[in-house]
Structure 1
Amino acid sequence: MTVASHISELKKKHDNLSHMVEAAQRAPASDDIQIAEWKKQKLRIKEEISRLQQA
């Protein structure tokens, strides 16, 4: 897997998590702990993308 394709996959995961967070936040009975975990995952992915783009 090339770096570019890895970054592309990470961006897809980040976007997917974004949609999940948005949907969960709109739901009346949302799980705040799960939302927080998804946000942490998004941040880790974003940091990994930044690290790869600088390399």
Structure 2
Amino acid sequence: MSLASHLDELQKKHSEIERQIDTAMQHPSTDGLEIVDLKRRKLAIKDMIEKLREGTASD
């Protein structure tokens, strides 16, 4: 998998998790821990994206 396609895939996952968070927050019955878990996953993906971008910028 090329770096560009890997970044694209990570960005898609990041957007999907963001959508899931928005949907979960609209439902009062959603477990708070589920939202926290989604936010952690979103942040982890964001960190991966940043590391990959930093790695290509230093080349």
TM-score (normalizing by structure 1): 0.96
Tell me the equivalent position of 1:14: 14
RMSD (Å) for aligned C-alpha atoms: 0.5
2:40 is matched with which residue? 40
Aligned AA (1:24): A
Under a length normalisation based on structure 2, what TM-score does the superposition of the two structures give? 0.90
Q: Which runs of 5+ in 1 are unaligned?
A: none
Moved over 2 A (4+): none
Answer with 1 or 2: which has the greater Rg: 2
Question: Counterpart amino acid of 1:29?
Answer: S
SS of the residue 1:51 aligns to: helix
